[in-house]
Structure 1
Amino acid sequence: MRCLAHRPHLTFLDSAAMHTLLGRYSYLSCEPFSTYVVENGQASYDGEPLDGDPWEVLRSLLAKYPQEHDPDLPPFQGGAAGFLAYDLNRTLERLPAPAIAGQHLPQSMLHFYDVVVSFDHRDKRCWIVSTGWPEQDPARRAERARRRADEFAALLARPRSPRIVLPGTAGAWRSNFSRARYIAAVQRVIELILAGDLFQANIAQRFSARVSRLFDPLTFYSQLRSLNPAPFAALLRYGKLTIASSSPERFLKLDGRQVETRPIKGTCARSTDCVEDRRRAELLLASEKDRAENIMIVDLLRNDLSRVCLPHSVDVPALCNLESYASVHHLVSVVTGELADNQDAVALLRACFPGGSVTGAPKVRSMEIISEIEQVAREVYCGAIGFIGFNGQMDTNIAIRTVTIDDGLAVFHAGGGITAMSDPEAEYEETLAKAQRIFDAFRAETSATL
């Protein structure tokens, strides 16, 4: 990553935490041949506005580069990669715009990459995959593929850029909620649940701080992945915008026709004392409130997947399993299905976006309440980061534990699912537990080795 760090539009999809089932592959690319952006519901390609529904526009653009999947290579073999912001939800439903626009980021930015450096952490292998796109003539495409592969090999052979001491943030962190206001917000959601408006809503607070002029995003990301390693992490360096994610949650994976989503609902802070840490994990597994929260979202995702999957193919092979990360324990379920023959990766995204684990149920009503209570746009937070391959494969995260740094301002959110059984004080403390490793990464003053 440091060898390519200063090339245009770097995307690093980083399995920073090894897991028996997750975190097998990492991908690195830069210098895309084209860029797809959505702003205020308007799609554009290389800066040219395109008429029509932005999801259909994306499907038509991907179709220009048909590519067979090679099963002997890691799944991402060239394609579109980047982010889909939570606020893309307004292209799918009639939803109120938040009162505060946030950082004014696009609703989506996906770069089209012809070359991908792919890593298989299980088998300890690495490839440079070069497709030759956007050339359409077979001979020219083959020549471009060879030339671009050689260019990337040369870039990777150069010395890495030096590590820089991280100066940290220049100002104090501010939240859009005080403790009392967040607790009141949780109480308000509980009242709406008891009144029959909804079953669950995910409410987050937004932290922001100015960063030093000397702030080095690469070193910050190095600190974050060291302190909070996660299987669905990412670093996006898109001009003056940096997105650094240490997400533990998969949103949607499409492997051939097989679909998987892994919703996280139910969280508790870890302890440095082994006995106490084990006790907390056991309490989480036994928690009626947390299991109910998880099961509600599993039902929502089963419904979402059934819109695009074959009848009777949607299954739940794992329900409320424990997964442990650097600072928290989570309850994680797995929902699977088989994509119908007339559907594709874009249809799957559209049917499920944004992820139910970060909205609530029913989804549309919970998103209305989120906008009303949080007031400020979530932007990348609770959207998705990942890839859609020209070969039809896809893997995306839920963009939680995710920082955006733009124009000298660092922003991230931390939240949780509120149900009728929620304890408002405990919900507030849960947001701080989720935020802690990000605060720690900004405070660190020495560089870490990637």
Structure 2
Amino acid sequence: MIEDVSHLRDFPFETVTYVARSSTISCRVSAEDVFVCLFGGTQPAFWLDSSRLVSGLSRWSFMGEFGGSRSYLASYDASRQEIRIARDGRGSPTTVSRSIFELLAHSHAAHKLRDPGGVPDIPFKGGHVGYFGYELKSLTCGVSSPPSKYPDACFIVCTRFLAFDHENDRIHIVALYPEAEAASDEAALWVSKTERDIERIEPAPSVTPSSPNANSAPLQFKLRQRRARYLENIERCLSEIRAGETYEVCLTNEITVETEIDPLGLYRILRRRNPAPYSAFLRLGNICVASSSPERFLRIDSNLIVETKPIKGTAARHAIPEEDERIAEELRLDEKSRAENLMIVDLMRNDLGRICRTGSVHVPSLIRGSRSSCDARC
């Protein structure tokens, strides 16, 4: 976190203290119905979706759009070290020659929320929503990579959003506005209008995978690395492990396909077929992200407690409880899964130890239900 931001004055932001307008209503319809109705056609928009509810892991979902006081969309090009900043309906985009990390640090330091208690007790109170691309390793690791045709990082700054409390069946409608604007009529109008719109929402039309057209060509899936090259890379990884240069390699491949498909429809099918505690749908300019993950990479709370919940080793659930328990025990005792789980926990423990207070890193849960956790204090 950067407190002194004087050296970042070329960012087109002033220091702003926000206050909030909010309303809480009963959750009569699903989060999916609300997003499809209110944000299904808006650009940009986001949905941080707990599509699979797990006690203690996935109580909340959040969604919102581009709009409201001081909101903007930032797209980053790592090769040029440039950030393109588009403000909500205010002139042409601005280009700033800085890294995306400097932007996030500056924005965090320059934007404050007065009386956070005035916002409902939710873990998200507005801010940046988006993604970091793999190509950012040129900044974080000093390792170059082929340029991407997509932004290397893209974030929307959200000052208006909905928070779904799945445990208590409540929807919190929140609008932030600068304290200098006093009691913002615009924010109050947005909250009241959104409340009325939610009350009128009907279940969204169902979406199903489209059947192949008999006259259409089959989809052509392309691998970035062909089989022979991938096997060569596996041998190279094994050689590095035997030489003691590394003990963990995540060797992945990229699959691409060209097709015409509705991104939101695709995500709705994904969340139904593979519900997960940490899912997301992002529509950010010309790119959409449909994500479904059972594990949490990092969480940092207001007390600067950092938590990670990696998973290694999975198995399909079974409808019969006794069979489900047998499968879970087999997974727990599987040598390969245990080795991978120990490896990833040790890796995360080591990474947290490099940035957190000495002696504060703990592993309170290890290989329990195929999920481990590691926490520390910054």
TM-score interval (norm. to shorter)? 0.7 to 0.9
CA contact (8 A) 2:300 2:307 kept: yes
Q: Distance in 2 between matches of 1:155 and 1:38?
A: 34
Is the partner of 1:200 in helix, strand or coil?
coil
Which one of the candidate residues 119, 138, 142 is aligned to 1:90?
138
Which one of the candidate residues 168, 173, 187 is aligned to 1:145?
187
Task: Show the 5 A alignment for 1:117-266.
Answer: 117-132=162-177, 135=178, 137-139=180-182, 142-157=184-199, 159=201, 162-163=205-206, 165-167=208-210, 171-179=219-227, 181-212=229-260, 215-257=261-303, 258-266=305-313
**Paired position in structure 2 for 1:295:** 342
Is the partner of 2:40 in helix, strand or coil?
coil
Residue type of the partner of 2:53?
M
Mark the CA change 1:168 to 1:129 in structure 2 (over 3 Å): closer, same or farther: farther
CA contact (8 A) 2:64 2:160 kept: yes
Q: Distance in 2 between matches of 1:183 and 1:291?
A: 24
User: How far apart are 1:190 and its partner, in Å?
Assistant: 1.4
Q: Distance in 1 between matches of 2:235 and 2:367?
A: 26
Mark the CA change 1:177 to 1:267 in structure 2 (over 3 Å): closer, same or farther: farther
Which one of the candidate residues 42, 54, 61 is aligned to 1:7?
42
**Larger relative contact order, structure 1 or 2 (CA cutoff 8 Å, min sep 6):** 1
Q: Deviations over 1:69-121 (max 9, x none)?
A: 337422112111111122222211210314xx45x111111101111100011
**Paired position in structure 2 for 1:304:** 351
Q: Distance in 1 between matches of 2:338 and 2:168?
A: 36
Q: Distance in 2 between matches of 1:269 and 1:86?
A: 29
TM-score by length of 1: 0.65
Mark the CA change 1:167 to 1:53 in structure 2 (over 3 Å): closer, same or farther: same
User: How far apart are 1:178 and its partner, in Å?
Assistant: 4.4
CA contact (8 A) 2:276 2:292 kept: yes
Q: Distance in 2 between matches of 1:230 and 1:262?
A: 14
Is the partner of 2:112 in helix, strand or coil?
coil
Q: Deviations over 1:318-373 (max 9, x none)?
A: 11222xxxxxxxx321011122xxxxxxxxxxxxxxxxxxxxxxxxxxxxxxxxxx
Q: Distance in 1 between matches of 2:258 and 2:321?
A: 37
| Aligned-pair identity (%) | 31
RMSD (Å), alpha carbons:
2.7
CA contact (8 A) 1:164 1:216 kept: no
* 1:334 is the counterpart of 2:373: yes
Residue type of the partner of 2:40?
A
Tell me the number of residue pairs that the alignment of Structure 1 and Structure 2 aligns.
323
CA contact (8 A) 1:200 1:293 kept: no
CA contact (8 A) 2:313 2:340 kept: yes
Q: Distance in 1 between matches of 2:110 and 2:156?
A: 14
TM-score by length of 2: 0.77
Is the partner of 1:264 in helix, strand or coil?
coil
Q: Deviations over 1:5-34 (max 9, x none)?
A: 112211000000011221100001012421
Q: Distance in 1 between matches of 2:318 and 2:240?
A: 34
User: How far apart are 1:226 and its partner, in Å?
Assistant: 0.8
Mark the CA change 1:144 to 1:305 in structure 2 (over 3 Å): closer, same or farther: farther
**Paired position in structure 2 for 1:21:** 56
Q: Deviations over 1:228-254 (max 9, x none)?
A: 000000011223322111111111112
Q: Distance in 2 between matches of 1:313 and 1:115?
A: 36
Q: Distance in 1 between matches of 2:238 and 2:334?
A: 18
Is the partner of 1:137 in helix, strand or coil?
helix
**Paired position in structure 2 for 1:59:** 105
Q: Identify unmatched segments of 5+ residues in structure 1.
A: 323-330, 340-450
Mark the CA change 1:307 to 1:152 in structure 2 (over 3 Å): closer, same or farther: farther
**Paired position in structure 1 for 2:28:** none
Q: Distance in 2 between matches of 1:321 and 1:185?
A: 32
Q: Distance in 1 between matches of 2:185 and 2:241?
A: 61
Q: Distance in 1 between matches of 2:325 and 2:206?
A: 37
CA contact (8 A) 2:208 2:269 kept: no
Q: Distance in 2 between matches of 1:333 and 1:165?
A: 35
Is the partner of 1:203 in helix, strand or coil?
coil
Residue type of the partner of 2:358?
P
Q: Distance in 2 between matches of 1:23 and 1:319?
A: 20
Q: Distance in 1 between matches of 2:82 and 2:112?
A: 25
Mark the CA change 1:63 to 1:149 in structure 2 (over 3 Å): closer, same or farther: farther
CA contact (8 A) 1:313 1:337 kept: yes
Q: Identify unmatched segments of 5+ residues in structure 2.
A: 1-34, 87-92, 213-217
CA contact (8 A) 1:7 1:30 kept: yes
